[in-house]
Amino acid sequence: MDTQAIATGLMPLSCIAIRQETPTIKTFRLRARSGPVSFVPGQALVLKVPMPDGPLWRSFTISGGGGGDLHLTIKAQAAGGATRWLHDHFREGDVIEARPPRGTFTLALRSNEKLAFVSGGSGATPMMAMLRDLAESEPEADLAWFHAARDPSEMLFTSELTELQRRMPRLSVAVTVTRPAPGWFGYHGRIRRGLLAAAVPDFGRREVFCCGPGGFMQEARLIHAAEGGAKAQFHTESFGTETPVTPVAPEPVETGGPAHLLKVNGRDLHIRPAETVLQASLRQGVVIPCGCGEGMCGTCMVRLVSGDVDARPNGGLTAEEAEQGYILACSSRAVSDVEIALE
Ligand code: FES
C-alpha cells in the first residue's frame, strides 16, 4: 500500500467501487488521480464533503487499502449529515477532495507484546486496518479484540475476521451487542467491567487501542485502569464517528502577555494571549472547519502567510505541509502579529 510520497494540500480521489457491508454501512474504495497514496494503518483521512449548503470537513479512519487505494468504511448517521450524503449521493466514478492521511493512532505507539483492540460501532475501522497489517507482518501477534455493536446486523468484516483467526493463532475476537437477535450466542449489553474481564481476562496487562464514541472510550479507559493497566498503555482515536459540524472552541486561559493582530483572508481580527488561532477566529465570527480540536486530525489546517506562531501539532500535520507553511489553527498560538489564509 505504500508506494509513493503523498501530495500536500487537497487531493482529488475517484470512487472506484462501493460495497454495502451492512444495511447502514458502506465501504468506499477511493483512488487518487495523482497515483498511489501512502498511509499507516490506523490513520485517518479528512474529506471535503460537498454538501448543498457548502462543504463539510469530516475525518474518517482508513479501514484498509491495496495497490495505493484507500478504503473508507462509513456508517450512515443523521439525516442531513455528511455520512448520509455520502451514502445517498456519492457514486462510483464521482470525485471527492481530501487531505492526505494523517494521525498518530498507529501501532508505532506500541510498547507491549500483548495487545487489546476495543472498538464501538464504526470504531472497528482503524482496528481492521491495523489487524490486516499485523496479519502480514506478525501473524503470531497476541491480540484480543473486543467489539461492541448495536445489533448483530451491524457486525463488520465477519468473514474476513473468521479467516484471520485461522491464520493468527493468538487472535481472539469477542463481540457484545446491545440488541441481541434470536440465535445470537455472543455477549450482550453495554461495555462494563465484568463483561470485558470475562472476554479478555488479562485486559489490565494489555496495551489497548480504543476507538468509538466518547463515553464508550472513557468507560474502557476506567476499566483498564481498574484492572491495573497503566495510563500510557491506553491509546484512543475518535474519528470513526462523525465529527462535529460546528466547532466548539474552549475559552482560552489568560496568562498575560501582549495581544496580537490576526488577519484572516484579509479581515482584521485580534488574538488574545494564550488563545489559539481557532479560538480567536471563532470568537470573532470567522468559522474555521474543525474536527478533533487537539491537533490530530488536520481538519483546521490553514496557511500561515506571515508572522510567527507557537505551533504544537499532535500528528495532524505532515512534514510536507509544515514545510509549505501550513499550521493547525486549533493548536497554534500567535507570538507576533499573524496573517493566515483559509483555502
Ligand atoms: S481540529 Fe483536528 S487538528 Fe485541528
pLDDT at 245: 36
> Looking at 79, 102, 125, which one is the last position of a domain?
102
Q: In angstroms, rounded to a whole number, what is the distance separating the alpha carbons of residues 143 and 138?
A: 11
Band the pLDDT of 264: cuts 50, 70, 90: very high
Q: What is the CATH number of the domain that holds 144?
A: 3.40.50.80
Local confidence band at 258 (pLDDT 50, 70, 90 cut-offs)? confident
Q: Is residue 41 situated within a structural domain?
A: yes
Distance CA 237, CA 210 (A): 6
Strand partners, 260: 271
Do 226 and 140 fall into the same domain? yes
State pTM to two decimals.
Answer: 0.78
Shared domain for 299 and 322, answered yes or no, is: yes
Residues 233 and 300 in one domain: no
Q: Is 2 inside any structural domain?
A: no
- Enclosing domain of residue 275: 260-341
pLDDT of residue 6: 33
The Å distance, Cα 298 to ligand 1 centre, comes to 5
* 130 plus 198 within the same structural domain: yes
- Tell me the percentage of the chain whose pLDDT exceeds 70: 92
Domain match, 180 and 283 both = no
Of the residues 202, 237, 272, the one at which a domain ends: 237
| Residue 249 near ligand 1, beta carbon < 6 Å | no
Same domain, 122 and 225: yes
- Where residue 240 falls among pLDDT bands split at 50, 70, 90? very low
Name which residue sits closest to atom 3 of ligand 1, judged by CA: 295
How many angstroms separate the alpha carbon of residue 260 from the centre of ligand 1? 22
Q: Does 188 fall in a domain?
A: yes
- Closest by alpha carbon to 293, among 307, 276, 306? 276
Q: What is the pLDDT of residue 241?
A: 42
Mutate to test the pocket of ligand 1, among 279, 296, 332 (most ligand atoms within 8 A of CB): 296
| 113 and 232 inside one domain | yes
Backbone dihedral angles phi then psi of residue 295, each to the nearest 5 degrees: 75, 20
How many Å apart are CA 123 and CA 115, to the nearest integer?
16
Q: At which of 77, 102, 127 does a domain end?
A: 102
Asked if residue 237 lies in contact with residue 211, where contact means CB atoms within 8 angstroms, the answer is yes
Who contacts 234 (Cβ-Cβ below 8 Å, separation ≥6)?
207, 208, 210, 220, 221, 224, 225
Ligand 1 binding pocket includes 300 (Cβ within 6 Å) = yes
In the predicted model, is pLDDT for residue 67 greater than 90?
no
| Residue 75: inside a domain | yes
Strands (DSSP E) along 33-113, which ranges? 44-49, 56-66, 69-75, 95-102
Q: What's the CATH number where 322 sits?
A: 3.10.20.30
Residue 210 lies in a domain: yes
pLDDT in tens, 151-181: 888 888 888 999 999 999 999 999 999 998 8
What is the total count of domains within the chain?
3
Cβ(330) – ligand 1 distance below 6 Å: yes
In this structure, are 91 and 122 located in the same domain? no
Distance 270 CA to ligand 1 centre (A): 21
CATH number of the structural domain spanning residue 79: 2.40.30.10
Atom of ligand 1 nearest to the CA of 291: 1
- Residue 3 belongs to some domain of the structure: no
| Long-range contact pairs involving 263-269 (C-beta distance under 8 Å, separation at least 24) | 263/305, 263/337, 263/338, 263/339, 263/340, 264/339, 264/340, 264/341, 264/342, 265/340, 265/341, 265/342
Residue with cell 500567535: 334
Strand partners, 187: 176
Q: Residue holding cell 488479562?
A: 202
φ/ψ bin of 324: left (φ > 0), alpha (ψ from -120 to 50), beta (otherwise): alpha
State in Å: Cα 292 to ligand 1 middle: 5
Residues 185 and 159 placed together within one structural domain of the fold: yes
Is it the case that residue 57 has pLDDT exceeding 90?
Answer: no
What is the arithmetic mean of pLDDT over 250-273?
79
